[in-house]
Structure 1
Amino acid sequence: MPDKQISALVVDDEPVAVKSLARILAGEGYAVKSTTKGEKAIEMIKAETFGIVLTDLLIDSVSGLDILAAVRERSPETEVIILTGHASVDTAIQATKQGAFHYLQKPIRPDEVRNIVRRAAEKLQLTARIQELESGKENDFPSIIGSSVKIVEIKKLIRRIKDSDSNVMITGESGTGKELVARAIHETSLRRKEKFIAFNCASFTDDLIANELFGHEKDAFTGATRSKTGLLETADKGTVFLDEVGDMPNAMQVKLLRVIQEREVMKVGGTESIPVDIRIVAATNKDLKKLCASGFFRQDLFFRLNVIPIHMPNLSERREDIPLLGSYFLRRCAEKVGKAINGFSDEAIGRLSSYGYPGNIRELENIVEHAVSMAEGSMIDVENLPKDIMEYDLYTFHTQEEKLKSLGEMEKEYIRWVLDQVKHNKTEAAKILNIDRASLYRKLKRYAFDDE
Structure 2
Amino acid sequence: MENRKVKILLVDDNKTNLELMKILIEDEGYIVVTAFNASDCMRKLKRDQFDLVITDFLMPAGKNGIELTEEIKKKYPQLEIMIMTAYGDVENAVKAVKLGAFDFIQRPIDNEILLFKIKKALEKKILTSELEKMKKIFRDDIENQYKIIGNSFLIRSIIEKLKVISAADSTVMITGESGVGKELFARMIHNLSSRRHHHFVAINAGAIPQNLLESELFGYKKGAFTGAYADKKGLFEEGDRGTVFLDEIGELDPAFQVKLLRVIQEGEIRPVGANKSIKVDVRIVAATNRNLKKAVETKEFREDLYYRLNVIPLEIPPLRERKEDIPLLANYFLAKYSERYKKNIQNISDSAMSALIKHSWKGNVRELENVIERGVILNHTPILEFSSLPPELTKKMNQEEKIILTYKQEKEKFDREYITKLLEYTKGNMKKAAETADKHRTDLYDMIKKYQIDVDAFRD
Q: Equivalent residue for 1:252?
A: 256
Q: Does 1:268 align with 2:272?
A: yes
Give the deviation of 1:253 after TM superposition. 1.6
Structure 1 pair 332/128, CA: closer, same or farther in 2 (3 Å)?
closer
The answer on whether the counterparts of 1:374 and 1:384 sit within 8 Å (CA) in structure 2 is yes
Structure 1 pair 330/297, CA: closer, same or farther in 2 (3 Å)?
same
Q: Equivalent residue for 2:186?
A: 182
Question: Matches of 1:18 and 1:187 in 2, distance apart?
Answer: 52
Give the deviation of 1:278 after TM superposition. 1.0
After the TM superposition, which residues 197-208 of structure 1 pair with which residues of structure 2 at under 5 Å, given as runs? 197-208=201-212
Question: Matches of 1:293 and 1:98 in 2, distance apart?
Answer: 69
Q: Deviations over 1:271-319 (max 9, x none)?
A: 4222221110111122222222332222221211122222223233333
The answer on whether the counterparts of 2:3 and 2:28 sit within 8 Å (CA) in structure 1 is no
Q: Name which of 168, 175, 197 aligns with 1:171.
A: 175
Question: Matches of 2:90 and 2:390 in 1, distance apart?
Answer: 29
Structure 1 pair 194/390, CA: closer, same or farther in 2 (3 Å)?
same
Q: Name which of 169, 194, 209 aligns with 2:213.
A: 209
Q: Equivalent residue for 1:33?
A: 33
Q: Name which of 215, 224, 232 aligns with 1:228.
A: 232
Give the deviation of 1:202 after TM superposition. 0.7
Structure 1 pair 345/80, CA: closer, same or farther in 2 (3 Å)?
farther
Question: Matches of 1:355 and 1:396 in 2, distance apart?
Answer: 11
Q: Deviations over 1:230-279 (max 9, x none)?
A: 11122222210111112222222221111101211122333422222111
Q: Deviations over 1:28-78 (max 9, x none)?
A: xxx44356867865665566543x32748x744699887776665444444
The answer on whether the counterparts of 1:54 and 1:83 sit within 8 Å (CA) in structure 2 is no
Question: Matches of 2:230 and 2:8 in 1, distance apart?
Answer: 69
Q: Does 1:365 align with 2:364?
A: no
Q: Name which of 305, 318, 325 aligns with 1:314.
A: 318
Structure 1 pair 352/6, CA: closer, same or farther in 2 (3 Å)?
farther
TM-score, normalising length: structure 1: 0.70
Structure 1 pair 22/304, CA: closer, same or farther in 2 (3 Å)?
same
SS of 2:285's partner is strand
Q: Deviations over 1:366-386 (max 9, x none)?
A: 233223323334333333334
The answer on whether the counterparts of 2:221 and 2:230 sit within 8 Å (CA) in structure 1 is yes
Question: Matches of 1:153 and 1:259 in 2, distance apart?
Answer: 32
Question: Matches of 1:180 and 1:123 in 2, distance apart?
Answer: 27
The answer on whether the counterparts of 1:347 and 1:382 sit within 8 Å (CA) in structure 2 is yes
Q: Equivalent residue for 1:126?
A: 130
SS of 1:25's partner is coil
The answer on whether the counterparts of 1:99 and 1:378 sit within 8 Å (CA) in structure 2 is no
Structure 1 pair 267/84, CA: closer, same or farther in 2 (3 Å)?
farther
The answer on whether the counterparts of 2:127 and 2:346 sit within 8 Å (CA) in structure 1 is no
SS of 2:29's partner is helix
The answer on whether the counterparts of 1:98 and 1:377 sit within 8 Å (CA) in structure 2 is no
The answer on whether the counterparts of 1:79 and 1:124 sit within 8 Å (CA) in structure 2 is no
Larger Rg: 2
Question: Matches of 1:298 and 1:87 in 2, distance apart?
Answer: 83
Structure 1 pair 39/328, CA: closer, same or farther in 2 (3 Å)?
farther
Give the deviation of 1:226 after TM superposition. 3.2
Q: How many residues in Structure 1 have an aligned counterpart in Structure 2? A: 391
The answer on whether the counterparts of 1:375 and 1:381 sit within 8 Å (CA) in structure 2 is yes
The answer on whether the counterparts of 2:69 and 2:81 sit within 8 Å (CA) in structure 1 is yes
Q: Percent identity?
A: 37
The answer on whether the counterparts of 1:174 and 1:285 sit within 8 Å (CA) in structure 2 is yes
Question: Matches of 2:104 and 2:295 in 1, distance apart?
Answer: 57
SS of 1:24's partner is coil
SS of 1:220's partner is coil
The answer on whether the counterparts of 1:55 and 1:64 sit within 8 Å (CA) in structure 2 is no
Q: Equivalent residue for 1:281?
A: 285
Give the deviation of 1:197 after TM superposition. 0.9
Structure 1 pair 128/375, CA: closer, same or farther in 2 (3 Å)?
closer
Give the deviation of 1:221 after TM superposition. 3.0
Give the deviation of 1:194 after TM superposition. 1.7
The answer on whether the counterparts of 1:265 and 1:273 sit within 8 Å (CA) in structure 2 is yes
Question: Structure 2: 5+ residue runs without aligned partners?
Answer: 403-460
After the TM superposition, which residues 73-112 of structure 1 pair with which residues of structure 2 at under 5 Å, given as runs? 73-78=74-79, 106-108=110-112
Question: Structure 1: 5+ residue runs without aligned partners?
Answer: 399-452
Q: Equivalent residue for 1:378?
A: 382
Question: Matches of 2:42 and 2:378 in 1, distance apart?
Answer: 33
Question: Matches of 1:141 and 1:187 in 2, distance apart?
Answer: 11
SS of 1:162's partner is helix
Question: Matches of 2:90 and 2:318 in 1, distance apart?
Answer: 42
Q: Equivalent residue for 1:298?
A: 302
Question: Matches of 2:97 and 2:323 in 1, distance apart?
Answer: 27
Amino acid at match of 1:253: Q
Give the deviation of 1:345 after TM superposition. 3.5
Question: Matches of 2:322 and 2:99 in 1, distance apart?
Answer: 33
Q: Name which of 163, 171, 180 aligns with 1:159.
A: 163
Structure 1 pair 108/216, CA: closer, same or farther in 2 (3 Å)?
same
Give the deviation of 1:165 after TM superposition. 0.8
Q: Equivalent residue for 2:27?
A: 23
